[in-house]
Structure 1
């Protein structure tokens, strides 16, 4: 502020001095074409605003007053000179303020536009990285998790429900395709002894080094183990990258899946979790037949596929927190002529299993939906309601059509199914 005032006074004195040198008889240029001393006030008004320009006006007014006292200027000329100069300065100040505001607004808009452009550039860059990652992910994982489970469902055990080399090798091929495993194998655990010879292998995994820190940790913890400084202190001594136990539903050890070579970018948390899920699912397949027999003994009209899937999925919920769901569509027997149950079966997803149950007043289609959260249940029910209303012309949640749903929880398959059947029957489930 003080710098502006000094500049205003100095510039005014400088211009007055120049005017005196060029026109000593009339330095204020009174009654001339233009009162040149007011140029100082105009410049200060444009540069700093009306406040500092008042100092310039004061300097000129003081000098004009000395001329008035000396008799070199009449009172009328003095008044008109000051009034015209003040008005000129005020008009220039208003003009300057208007344009300063416009320039400031333009600067603000430009700053916002630049910041927005930078933000969009960063977003575009992240989108490009995400696209590259997605492309790499699609290339490295040519099948989805659902398709991987679908392939696992096609694996068949021999007549004695024992694990055969063909089935185990097919499982390794699925693991190799989904997780890009280059070298790995399955080693069986029999008679409380881990056989070092590979039961099946992809690549050349060789004889198992049972004293490897990774293998020891996997055997002791019964959980997936992988090379990590946080997990294994002797990580530099490990010959293998990942070891996954193959456990039955009763935590009995069948064997170990050992991975020796896998691409560096694939050894991440997502891959390890998928390995755990696939290995857990596969190990349940080995002894599922006896459990299916027990389940079908209690529910003889249940389909074998439905029973097998239910027995596999409940341990996934208990051990890995993988959600699955049961959805029952209850159709009044009065609507049997419309084949509603048959039409609903055509709306299933690739992994879903069905069980048709006949109650006293309703025909019930129970759908077992693997890997389905509460949001997935809502989406499925909404799709079924839209199909019933749009394609078949039926309304839902009345006496003729009802829908019930439940997520699987950790208990025996028999009690989970009994609970759900009581629920759709409206019986006491407390």
Structure 2
């Protein structure tokens, strides 16, 4: 991947244009069009240029300093240059200096005043001044537009540069976390606590939470085993006297160095997370020694808690689901186990789940709608088909880590599927949905609601 942490540079075309403009400004013609906005400078040029023309005329033609009778009136160059630079008013003022100069040279006899000479000169100066004003206005508008476009271009370049950096960071994050939360839970659901499953859990944590070096240590009867059951990033000696480790073991909650631990400077670990089963017993500890600084945030810590809890729940699910199965023997074991896991996830990580209850009318039952709807389940969903009264059926679908929006999306997918079969809505197909949100309620209370709804 290319490193984009460099400042954007100008394009070759813009650099070439800048070079041409600089070369033109340094030429004599470029100096001619470089004007000043200060009134003192404008007044000085308006006065000095015609005086300079009078001086040159007096030096080279004392009998006719303004070249009134010459083949070309060279003295009018001064007012034309002033008009070209600053407009018609300044040009006429410079022409007034020439008029005063002629009066000064011919103060003894003003009867020979050259009317056509000055009239023609004034007309030329006014034309040059108007053209100058027109082009100065156009140049001013072009400069304003160019300034605005330069600002917009610079803003777009910065936004594009930031977008590239954001894209690179997102790409790196996706490379470090190539699986979704549901994919991770799907992998964990296949782990049963076998000897090699702890290493698989640690590898998944490293992939999902960007952990570089860590260990999994077993805990039996609140006593820490010094021999790790899984390691990542090399062999590390366990330090049971570490203050962060002791705090996590005593408090039975995830601890990390940014929590303001007094002895944080003496700890070797960044994160210590207990592996609690559904009964609250410690199964083990995750000791994280190395991970990127930007990864140490609330979302990552919550993910570590979730994955560790789901793994320990998978190991203890069969044993802990027995009370639910005894109370509701018709409930499938996968449904009860998953419901028990989701209760623990909600209690520890605050992530809700839900159960969608689909009431199937006798017409839908005859069409074997339940079997077809079960084919539309997601990978992590668990279903339970219940025989109701009066020929009805109830299909309970447990959606782990789902919200109300998940239920709406699932029902919309069913409606699209029904529309492809010529049915306009769920009601037309004899399907009536109900939702039970697993949020701060126990698994037994959810099963109680399911049993009550299906037998009403």
TM-score (norm 2): 0.75
Structure 2 counterparts to residues 60-71 of structure 1, below 5 A: 60-64=98-102, 70-71=108-109
Which structure 1 segments of 5+ residues have no match?
158-163
Secondary structure of 2:285 counterpart = strand
Deviations 1:134-172 (A, max 9, x none): 454444445433222111111236xxxxxx645545434
Secondary structure of 1:37 counterpart = helix
1:272 to 297, 301, 305: 301
Do residues 240 (structure 1) and 278 (structure 2) align? no
Q: Is the 8 A contact 1:306 1:355 kept in 2?
A: yes
Secondary structure of 2:66 counterpart = coil
CA distance in 2 between partners of 1:4 and 1:55 (Å): 11
Q: Which stretch of the first structure deviates more once superposed, 236-245 or 328-337?
A: 328-337
Map of 1:408 onto structure 2: 438
Map of 1:99 onto structure 2: 135
Structure 2 counterparts to residues 345-360 of structure 1, below 5 A: 345-358=374-387
Do residues 89 (structure 1) and 125 (structure 2) align? yes
1:144 to 164, 180, 187: 180
Secondary structure of 2:439 counterpart = coil
Map of 1:14 onto structure 2: 52
CA distance in 1 between partners of 2:273 and 2:254 (Å): 4
Change (3 A) 1:3 1:368: same
CA distance in 1 between partners of 2:346 and 2:152 (Å): 45
Map of 1:43 onto structure 2: 81
Deviation, structure 1 residue 308: 2.1
Map of 1:160 onto structure 2: none
Deviation, structure 1 residue 13: 1.4
Secondary structure of 1:240 counterpart = coil
Map of 1:221 onto structure 2: 251
Secondary structure of 1:351 counterpart = coil
CA distance in 1 between partners of 2:89 and 2:354 (Å): 77
Do residues 325 (structure 1) and 341 (structure 2) align? no
Change (3 A) 1:345 1:45: farther
Do residues 210 (structure 1) and 246 (structure 2) align? no
Q: Is the 8 A contact 1:215 1:243 kept in 2?
A: yes
CA distance in 1 between partners of 2:61 and 2:407 (Å): 96
Secondary structure of 1:45 counterpart = helix
Change (3 A) 1:405 1:64: farther
1:153 to 160, 174, 189: 189
Deviation, structure 1 residue 14: 1.2
Map of 1:369 onto structure 2: 399
Secondary structure of 2:85 counterpart = helix
CA distance in 1 between partners of 2:372 and 2:244 (Å): 52
Deviation, structure 1 residue 234: 2.2
Deviation, structure 1 residue 184: 0.6
CA distance in 1 between partners of 2:270 and 2:328 (Å): 44
Q: Which stretch of the first structure deviates more once superposed, 270-279 or 335-344?
A: 335-344
Q: Is the 8 A contact 1:322 1:371 kept in 2?
A: yes
Map of 2:4 onto structure 1: none
Deviation, structure 1 residue 124: 4.4
Q: Which stretch of the first structure deviates more once superposed, 18-27 or 146-155?
A: 18-27
CA distance in 2 between partners of 1:197 and 1:23 (Å): 112
Coordinate RMSD, CA, aligned = 3.6
CA distance in 1 between partners of 2:46 and 2:196 (Å): 97
CA distance in 1 between partners of 2:74 and 2:151 (Å): 45
Secondary structure of 1:27 counterpart = coil
Deviation, structure 1 residue 379: 3.9
Map of 1:254 onto structure 2: 282
CA distance in 1 between partners of 2:290 and 2:389 (Å): 56
Total equivalences in the alignment? 412
Q: Is the 8 A contact 1:197 1:206 kept in 2?
A: no
Change (3 A) 1:25 1:387: farther
Deviations 1:184-224 (A, max 9, x none): 1222141xx32333472326767743321011221233221
CA distance in 2 between partners of 1:209 and 1:112 (Å): 63
Map of 1:187 onto structure 2: 218
Change (3 A) 1:23 1:388: farther
Map of 2:18 onto structure 1: none
Map of 2:90 onto structure 1: 52
Q: Is the 8 A contact 2:317 2:340 kept in 1?
A: yes
CA distance in 2 between partners of 1:172 and 1:227 (Å): 20
